[in-house]
Amino acid sequence: MRQFLVAACLATATLHCVAEEFATAADAEKMVHKAVKALGSGDQAKVFAEINDKKPAWVERDLYVMVYDMQGKVLAHGQNPKMVGKDLLEMKDADGKAFVKERVELAAAKGKFWQEYKFTDPVTKKILPKSAYCEKANEAVVCAGIYKR
């Protein structure tokens, strides 16, 4: 019985630790709200630079901020700063979905939304289903996404 309890405790601790590695939907919404607020109340160039430099305020576990203009050009990217300045409007996910184009269209139509697509997880390096929470902020779309495991 004692061995069973030890094994159960270890399994619970392991599951808890694994769960802590990955962001939640609430984490994504919180990070986007924080980014929208920062962009609206301060120096946008400074906020973009902090996001691109992967400052802890904008990158947490597998969660990071992405900012696009309304034409699909990357203004800031918390996981891959080499994307900044690139027009990704026609970029497609593993299923052929033009997710950046859809993102811009949803931002124009709804302002705030969740979007489903597939993308490479920075932790596992595997292509996984992803949900991104996005908000339109002036003439930009601010997003952060969670991976579905």
The C-alpha atoms of residue 43 and residue 39 are separated, in whole angstroms, by 7
The C-alpha atoms of residue 17 and residue 4 are separated, in whole angstroms, by 20
Question: Residue length, the chain?
Answer: 149
Is 72:88 a contact under the CB 8 Å cutoff? yes
Print pLDDT tens along the chain (149 aa): 444 333 333 343 333 334 468 899 999 999 999 999 999 987 899 999 999 999 999 999 889 999 999 999 999 999 999 999 999 999 999 999 999 999 999 999 999 999 999 998 877 889 999 999 999 999 999 999 999 87
Is 137:51 a contact under the CB 8 Å cutoff? no
Helix (H) or strand (E) segment spanning residue 74: strand 74-77
pTM of the model: 0.83
Q: Going from the N-terminus, what domains does the chain have, and what CATH number goes with each?
A: 24-147 (3.30.450.20)
The C-alpha atoms of residue 94 and residue 135 are separated, in whole angstroms, by 24
